Homo-oligomer: A and B are copies of this chain.
Amino acid sequence: MSEEVEGVGLRVGVVGTGYGGTELVRLLTSHPHVDELHLYSESQAGKGLGEVYAAWRDADLPLLPLEALEETELDVLFLATPHGASRELVTRWIGRPQVIVDLSGDFRFRDGAVYERFYRMPAAPRSLLEEAVYGLAEFAPPELSRARLVANPGCFPTAALLALLPLAKAGLLRPGSAIVDAKTGVSGAGRSPSLATHFSEVNENVRPYNVFVHRHGAEIEVYLGAGPVSFVPHLVPMTRGILVTAYGELVEPMTTEDLFELYRHTYAGRPFVRLLRPGTYPETKAVQGSNFVDIGLIATADGRKAVVMAAIDNLVKGAAGQAVQNMNLRFGLPETAGLVGRPLYP
């Protein structure tokens, strides 16, 4: 019952051994159209992936130094590298693989000034920023299919935009009214230890952080296109998952049923969007390990406000899964290739 298509065999590289990079490896090693997979790491080169992650202890996956990129022909290069590092790698390697899919924030802003304000680092060259295609897969432009550079969206923006874009694109979201209250698991902070991700500090704790100043708030604003967004992320004591609860004022009164129909129409045929019937709501555990986004919605009794909730696995649909989805779309493969694994539940 597995999916298989004839003929396409991609040569793929992944740079980075953080959670995002390793999640890419998990997905790509069972992808039916990946023929070669090469891993690269600056800090861990020379080791095998199994020395970095016990989960991979049986695997024969050497981590090559970055210079080895010189030697191999690649169709796709995924960069699961920190911002700054991605900028340098893209600047150097753009055009060599058919496409680079970058998971950092370096190419998400067409306007380098916005980037520099939020990332406090020099932006990438303007020509690259303009060339990059923002890979929110369900709303990706036709250019994705021939892109040399894909900016994979942030985890919060993926959930927030999938929750609100149907309203915004229909002109139904009052500008400036959007509130995005997000709850995230800790893996979104990566694998580098810090007090903020120290078990004893995070466990049995919920806390807001970077209120109004999180980089992803700017990214949401730019791509939602409906004025300022009040973005408040919260850290919750779990490893994976993001739940976004988005609130917005409607330009004209709508019922919950109206909302449902709008979303149903918008996401018709999109294999990873699971739209929930009115009265049911998404939860992160139901998408754990999968590329699904579960969306639930409700309007206030007077029809003037909408609440839209979206749940994703931050490392899959919010990072590596969507990156693979973008690769599939880029090469004309079935959108779900390599992404058919079911959620792990419980």
Interface positions of A from 14 to 58, Cβ below 8 Å from B: 19, 22, 25-26, 28-32, 34-35, 37, 53-58
A346 within 8 A of B: yes
Give the residues from 182 to 228 in chain A that come closer than 8 angstroms, CB to CB, to chain B: 183, 185-187, 189, 191, 193-195, 197-209, 211-212, 228
Contacts A187-B200, A203-B186, A247-B247; A58 near B274 (Cβ below 8 A) = yes
The CA of A283 and the CA of B340, in the complex, are separated in Å by 27
Task: Give Cα distance in the complex from A43 to B302, angstroms.
Answer: 40
Q: Given contacts A4-B4, A19-B200, A206-B284, is CB(A57)–CB(B276) below 8 Å?
A: yes
Contact B30 A341 (CB under 8 A): yes
A29 to B296, CA, bound (A): 26
A309 within 8 A of B: yes
B206 adjacent to A292 (CB under 8 Å): no
Cross-chain contact B32 with A1 (CB below 8 angstroms): yes
A106 at the interface (CB under 8 A from B): no
Q: Which residues of B contact A203 (CB under 8 A)?
A: 186, 199, 203-204, 237-239, 346
CB of B2 within 8 A of CB of A236, answer no
Q: Which residues of B contact A54 (CB under 8 A)?
A: 282-283, 285-286, 294
Q: Is A87 an interface residue (CB 8 A)?
A: no
On whether A200 and B30 interact (CB within 8 A), knowing A195-B191, A208-B281, A287-B55, the answer reads: no
Contacts of A183 in B (CB 8 A): 183, 206, 234, 236
Known A-B contacts A183-B234, A230-B305; A239 and B57 likewise in contact (beta carbons under 8 Å): no
Q: How far does the alpha carbon of A301 sit from the alpha carbon of B200 in the complex, in Å?
A: 34
The answer to whether A307 has its CB under 8 Å from any CB of chain B is yes
A122 contacts B by Cβ under 8 Å = no
Which of A272-329 touch B at CB < 8 Å?
274, 276, 281-290, 292, 294, 296, 298, 300-302, 305, 307, 309, 311
17 additional contacts (CB under 8 A) given A25-B342, A206-B283, A208-B283:
A1-B31, A1-B34, A2-B4, A19-B346, A26-B342, A55-B287, A57-B286, A57-B294, A183-B183, A197-B198, A204-B204, A204-B285, A212-B298, A230-B305, A230-B307, A236-B237, A341-B341
Q: Which residues of A are interface residues toward B (Cβ below 8 A)?
A: 1-2, 4, 19, 22, 25-26, 28-32, 34-35, 37, 53-58, 179, 181, 183, 185-187, 189, 191, 193-195, 197-209, 211-212, 228, 230, 232, 234, 236-241, 243, 245, 247, 274, 276, 281-290, 292, 294, 296, 298, 300-302, 305, 307, 309, 311, 340-346
